[in-house]
Amino acid sequence: MTATTAPAVGSPLGRIEGPAKVTGAARYAAEYPVEDVVHAWVVQSPVARGTLDAVIVDPTTEDDDVLAVLWHGNAPRLEQPDDPELAVLQSERISYRGQAVALVVARTLEAARRAAQVIGLEITEEPHDTLLTADHPEIYSPEQVNPAFPADTRSGDVEQAFAAAPVKVDVTYRTPALHNNPMEPHATIAVWQGDDLVLYDSNQHPPGVAGAVGAVFGLPAERVHVITEHVGGGFGSKGSARPNAVLAALGARVVGRPVKLALPRQALFSMVGHRTPTIQRIRLAAERDGTLTAIDHEAVEHTSRLFEFAEQTTVATRHMYAAANRHTGHRLVRLDMPTPRWMRAPGEAPGMVGLECAMDELAEELGLDPIELRIRNEPRVEPESGVPFSSRQYLQCLREGAERFGWADRDPRPRSRREGNWWVGLGVAGATYPTMAQPSTARVRARPDGRYDVAVAATDIGTGARTILTQIAADELGVPVDRVRVRIGDSTLPKASVAGGSSGSASWGWAVTGACRELRRSGNDEAVYDSTEEVQQQEKDGKHAYGAHFAEVRVDADTGEVRVSRLFGMYAVGRVLNPRTARSQFIGGMTMGLGMALHEEGVLDPAMGDWVNHDLAEYHVPVHADIESVEAAWLSEDDRAVNPMGSKGIGEIGIVGSPAAIVNAVRHATGIRVRDLPVRLDKLLPYLA
């Protein structure tokens, strides 16, 4: 690095695409001006299980503007995809309510929507089963849970430890179905150029979408060009190709014109993957001094008839606390429901509700401060793998966070603080998220004017990835950030991993670092670096980010209304590459955690076989009025064992401990322990008087 250049990494650089976004110049998938484009609308199944026998288009309502009505009876045949949800309009089987069963393509959006509304579907309906229960007769154990963890782990003798323990907690926590609601719903414009396909598509992984959509049309990934310049949020729901991309391409092929398919928000609730509801039984056994002797955490979840997705709900429990006797497990039920998928911190977010609320219950049983209980069970090495930690500042997060939050002032007795009509309580919970990196390739070119072009097929889903990669490249090249131009969001750029698992900056930054170093070393004007070999040498366990979440809640003594007056997160996440974008990730995750604790729930009607709430009027996500004070801070940490930047992932850890901290604070405020999220006033009211 040249002596005159201050490091860019670590500075709060504003988003490079910020001006384009706030002036409306930034283009999202559905906004590209594509000539001759026509519009598609999806017809969704009105039943949860059965067969679609015929589709009838009433000639009296048929509109000249309608170009095609596609269903399994007339749609072109597709190659069998790895993901059965992408085999759209290929089978008479209906696997869930809301499944795409037909597609209308029309000259105008209005004509497409109108025709989809009046279409006749002849369906043979079959009895369905959509209700998850812990004693479901078809419950089974999957081999693995997402992405490739063993479903069960066991060590020691849990039953014996329970029989012998003087203090025990045996509780069941439930989390509801949750739905990804990015500001920008999923959208695709599909354009065929001969046998090559161009997709303007909103997703978290352009090369992955190119591969998956190409495969169903029998095309190699190179023949599919996916353009994903800007994305208005994803949270996992855009991590792989969704049916909209295939439907748009199918429609475009049939009508011979570009087709735009922008999903209405209602369709997101069944078509893009939700978070499974969970039923978690958690048992903790301890000595009277708080030393844990056994941890047993088992989750029951659902998957679909089409595809097995098993959320890794109890995997975080394998990393948190020492105990000689342990069991974690997952049980699944195949229901006539959409396939659950990734939603911000799949596994950790629901699983840490169970573990961290149960720890709070145990602390109360023991008469011990909940932070002290965690301190007494800090492991020296990873509890299940035995691998040493590359860095772990969990206790520092708890202690420093407690100091900043004012934990010492807390009277440990529940329902001990009243301010006017409010019961006030404080809660704490721990957080962890694995530190991951995936192979990626980056290219850097030195231009004659002294500028540098960096290219990698990454995506910025609103996190600030483009900005951070610019900072990383500037430091490695020893130039100011304004001499670096980063191109991302295009599948034809050097191959990059998914914007998921909080691994984007680590994975792409690693490749960008390698390419810049290679450029300087070689003295050439272009360098390409593929990180595969270096990334694969990394130890898999022992590398986590940690955090401690603190909440102050107020509960109205008469109405049971819950307000979160303060939410604070203290993190240890390696080197923070950009404090401004990092803070946004933390407080965004914490806000989403507040939604999980208090608001969000897919409300199932088992008779209809679907969730009854399908929009933001009835599925409540937090809005500004729900947020009073939400703040994040972090400890100094720089872990070069994890990647060349010394950074850990930050996109997901904010949602991990926040819900449990809030639930624990509600308990402290009111004396009421709600074990069934979300904590709504109807669950508090009967016990408030």
Considering Cα of 247, then 250, then 254, then 259, what sign does the dihedral take? positive
**500 counts as binding ligand MOS under rule CB under 6 A:** yes
CB of 91 to ligand MOS, least distance (A): 28
**Quick check: 294 and 622 in contact, CB under 8 A?**
no
Quick one: 269 or 342, whose CB is closer to ligand MOS?
Answer: 342
343 touching ligand MOS, by CB under 6 A: yes
Distance CA 317, CA 152 (A): 12
Return the SS3 of 522. helix
AA identity, residue 306: L
> CA-to-CA distance for 227 and 200, rounded, in angstroms?
5
For residue 501, state whether it binds ligand MOS (rule: CB under 6 A): yes
CB of 500 to ligand MOS, least distance (A): 3
Helix (H) or strand (E) holding 554: strand 544-556
**Residue with Cβ nearer ligand MOS (344 or 614):** 344
Least distance in angstroms from the C-beta of 578 to ligand MOS: 19
Is the separation of the CB atoms in 683 and 676 below 8 Å?
yes
The Cα–Cα gap between 110 and 676 comes to 42
- As a whole number of angstroms, the distance between CA 96 and CA 92 comes to 12
Which residue's CB is nearer to ligand MOS, number 484 or number 499?
A: 499
Instruction: Give DSSP secondary structure letters for 379-414.
Output: -SS-TTT-PPPSB--HHHHHHHHHHHHTGGG--SST
DSSP per residue, 595-636: HHHHT--B-EETTTTEES--STTTSPPP-GGG-S-EEEEE--
Which helix (H) or strand (E) segment is 667 a member of? helix 658-670
Output the smallest distance, CB 579 to ligand MOS, in A.
Answer: 22
Annotation says 384 is catalytic: no
Least CB distance to ligand MOS at residue 236 (A):
3
The sign of the torsion formed by the CA atoms of 646, 648, 649, 652 equals negative
| Contact pick of 81, 206, 214, 346 for ligand MOS (by CB under 6 A) | 346
- As measured in angstroms, the least distance from the Cβ of 180 to ligand MOS is 8
Give whichever of 234 and 609 is closer to ligand MOS, judged by the CB atom: 234
- Per CB under 6 A, 595 contacts ligand MOS: no
Tell me whether residue 179 or residue 344 sits nearer to ligand MOS (CB atom). 344
Part of the chain binding ligand MOS (CB under 6 A), chosen from 229-237, 321-329, 588-596, 626-634: 229-237
Q: Residues 452 to 481: which contact ligand MOS by CB under 6 A?
A: none
Distance of CA 365 to the CA centre of its chain: 34
Nearer to ligand MOS, 504 or 574 (CB): 504
Residue 354 in the binding site for ligand MOS (CB under 6 A): no
Residue 216 vs 498, nearer CB to ligand MOS: 498
Nearest distance in Å: CB 583, ligand MOS: 19
**What DSSP line would sit under 470-487, residue for residue?**
HHHHHHHHTS-GGGEEEE
CA distance 657 to 320: 12
Stretch that binds ligand MOS, among 15-23, 88-96, 233-241, 590-598 (CB under 6 A): 233-241
Determine contact, residues 423/417, Cβ cutoff 8 Å.
yes
Angle between helix axes 658-670 and 348-366 (nearest 10 degrees) is: 30
Question: Segment near ligand MOS (CB under 6 A), from 6-14, 156-164, 209-217, 336-344?
Answer: 336-344
> Pick from 627, 634, 622, 653: which is nearest to 566 by CA?
627
What residues contact 25, with CB distance under 8 A and at least 6 apart?
Answer: 19
Span interacting with ligand MOS, options 36-44, 164-172, 230-238, 450-458, rule CB under 6 A: 230-238
Q: Does the footprint of ligand MOS cover residue 275 (CB under 6 A)?
A: no
Cα torsion for 360, 365, 366, 369, to the nearest 10°?
30
**Backbone φ, ψ for residue 547 (5° rounding):** -160, 165
Q: Rule CB under 6 A: is residue 542 a binding residue for ligand MOS? A: no
Cα R_g (the chain), whole angstroms:
26
Among 176, 182, 211, 239, binds ligand MOS (CB under 6 A): 239
| Closest residue to ligand MOS using C-beta atoms | 236
The 3-state DSSP class for residue 124 equals strand
342 binds ligand MOS (CB under 6 A): yes
Residue among 603, 605, 604, 606 nearest 127 (CA): 606
Closest CB to ligand MOS among residues 251, 501: 501
Quick one: 347 or 569, whose CB is closer to ligand MOS?
A: 347
Helix spans in 551-629 (H): 579-598
Q: Does 569 bind ligand MOS (CB under 6 A)?
A: no
Rule CB under 6 A: say whether 236 interacts with ligand MOS.
Answer: yes
Instruction: Give the whole-angstrom CA distance, residue 451 versus residue 482.
Output: 8
Residue 503: strand, helix, or coil? coil
Which ranges in 109-230 belong to alpha helices (H)?
109-118, 158-164, 206-216
344 binds ligand MOS (CB under 6 A): yes
Instruction: Please report how close the Cβ of residue 621 comes to ligand MOS at its closest, in angstroms.
Output: 16
What is the residue type of 610?
Answer: D
Q: Which stretch binds ligand MOS (CB under 6 A): 341-349, 360-368, 515-523, 559-567?
A: 341-349
Do 672 and 688 meet the contact criterion of CB atoms below 8 Å apart?
Answer: yes
CB of 113 to ligand MOS, least distance (A): 30
Stretch that binds ligand MOS, among 343-351, 545-553, 587-595, 617-625 (CB under 6 A): 343-351
Paired tokens of 342: 């990734």
**Active-site residue among 348, 356, 476, 652?**
652
Tell me if 654 contacts ligand MOS by CB under 6 A: no
Of 60-68, 118-126, 234-242, 579-587, the window that binds ligand MOS (rule: CB under 6 A) is 234-242
Size of the site for ligand MOS (CB under 6 A): 11
* CB closer to ligand MOS, 275 vs 443: 275
Residue 235 CB, nearest approach to ligand MOS (Å): 6
Binding span for ligand MOS by CB under 6 A among 31-39, 100-108, 342-350, 527-535: 342-350
Of 436 and 555, the one with the shorter C-beta distance to ligand MOS is 436
Q: How far is the CB of 652 from ligand MOS (least distance, A)?
A: 6
Sign of torsion over alpha carbons 339, 342, 344, 349? positive
Q: What is the DSSP letter of 521?
A: H
Binding track, positions 175-204, relative to ligand MOS; x by CB under 6 A: -----------------------------x
Residues designated catalytic: 652
Contact residues for ligand MOS, defined by CB under 6 A: 204, 234-236, 239, 342-344, 346, 500-501
